[in-house]
């Protein structure tokens, strides 16, 4: 039996969160490592050198009597655990977070979002959106309220995302939280420079119908305020006929998805 080595190895492992972490970082299978911890086997010379390099000790030290080794480890400063190198895109994402959150504070609050539905062609969909600051970033929740049949309870679809503000344009990206099978991207611009009342832009997403066809639609955000009656606002969300008087003429014109003569791209409208 190799009791001293086993005790020394267990002592070194105790400085880590778990045996599983040690095995994962050493790239050794757990049953084999357990045999060394039990004292039944000594590792080969090559494996022993790997252990010593990982734990920062010498080969002769890890084979010392356990009481002597414990005193040695206690007085020796521990090497810092190696950290994963930063990904090459991390500085760019940090920069985007830094410049993209400045200027968004005046846009925080609740909005009605209105656009021609991708899942129900020919109908207008109104949803409720809330932009809020959390620490150093601006997050938002977009809630759909749909009633498929008059006698059924309303269904609420929730989308969560992040907002960035770059040169007077608001960039939104979110995902659907129930199934995780859908993402949407939206770019908005303010209709008025000095006040937040109406934002217009384009929304790119996937049709909720069986074909799941990517679609692009004009969209309007109508500012409601920083604090609202959320339940009452949600009751005003849902699908509307294009000529429904509850959709004002300016909104109806702004979300129409025609391409005018001379236009080469699908563009947002004021």
One domain, residues 101 and 228? yes
Place of tokens 């979002």: 113
One domain, residues 139 and 250? yes
One domain, residues 129 and 235? yes
% the chain with pLDDT above 70:
92
One domain, residues 50 and 107? no
How many structural domains are present in the chain? 2
The CATH number covering residue 161 comes to: 2.40.128
Q: Which domain holds residue 175?
A: 97-254
One domain, residues 218 and 139? yes
One domain, residues 66 and 195? no
Q: What is the mean pLDDT of the chain?
A: 86
One domain, residues 57 and 21? yes
What is the average pLDDT across 20-30?
88
Is residue 81 in some structural domain? no
pTM flag (> 0.75): no
CA 106 – CA 226 distance, rounded (Å)? 10
On the question of pLDDT at 82 being above 60, the answer is: no
One domain, residues 189 and 239? yes
Question: What are the tens digits of pLDDT across the range 174-203?
Answer: 998 887 788 999 999 887 666 788 999 999
CA 120 – CA 155 distance, rounded (Å)? 15
Is residue 127 in some structural domain? yes
On the question of pLDDT at 71 being above 90, the answer is: no
One domain, residues 195 and 105? yes
CA 45 – CA 199 distance, rounded (Å)? 69
| b/e sequence 81-107, b meaning 16+ C-beta within 10 Å | eeeeeeeeeeeeeeeeeeebbeebeeb
On the question of pLDDT at 84 being above 70, the answer is: no
Q: Which of 79-83, 154-158, 201-205, 259-263 has the highest mean pLDDT?
A: 201-205
One domain, residues 115 and 209? yes
One domain, residues 134 and 24? no
Q: How many CA atoms within 13 Å lie on the side-chain side of 92?
A: 3
One domain, residues 249 and 176? yes
**pLDDT interval class at 237 (50, 70, 90):** very high
The CATH number covering residue 63 comes to: 1.10.260.40
Is residue 267 in some structural domain? no
What is the average pLDDT across 146-164?
82
């Amino acid at each position: 039996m190799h009791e001293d080595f086993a005790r020394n190895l267990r002592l070194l492992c105790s400085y880590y969160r778990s045996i599983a972490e040690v095995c994962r970082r050493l790239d050794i299978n757990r049953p084999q490592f357990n045999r060394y911890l039990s004292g039944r086997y000594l590792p080969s010379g090559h494996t022993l050198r790997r252990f010593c390099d990982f734990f920062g000790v010498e080969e002769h030290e890890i084979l010392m009597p356990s009481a002597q080794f414990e005193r040695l480890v206690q007085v020796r400063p521990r090497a810092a655990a190696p950290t994963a190198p930063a990904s090459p895109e991390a500085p760019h994402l940090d920069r985007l977070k830094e410049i993209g959150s400045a200027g968004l504070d005046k846009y925080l609050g609740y909005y009605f979002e209105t656009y021609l539905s991708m899942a129900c062609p020919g109908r207008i969909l109104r949803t409720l959106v809330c932009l809020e600051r959390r620490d150093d970033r601006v997050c938002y929740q977009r809630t759909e309220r749909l009633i498929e049949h008059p006698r059924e309870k309303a269904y609420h679809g929730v989308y969560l995302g992040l907002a960035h503000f770059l040169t007077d344009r608001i960039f939104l990206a979110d995902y659907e939280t129930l199934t995780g099978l859908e993402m949407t991207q939206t770019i908005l611009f303010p209709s008025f420079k000095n006040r937040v009342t109406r934002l217009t832009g384009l929304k790119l997403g996937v049709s909720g119908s069986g074909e799941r066809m990517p679609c692009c639609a004009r969209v309007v955000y109508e500012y409601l305020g920083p604090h609202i009656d959320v339940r009452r606002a949600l009751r005003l969300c849902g699908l509307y006929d294009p000529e429904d008087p509850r959709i004002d003429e300016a909104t109806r014109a702004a979300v129409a998805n025609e391409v005018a003569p001379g236009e080469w791209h699908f563009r947002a409208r004021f």
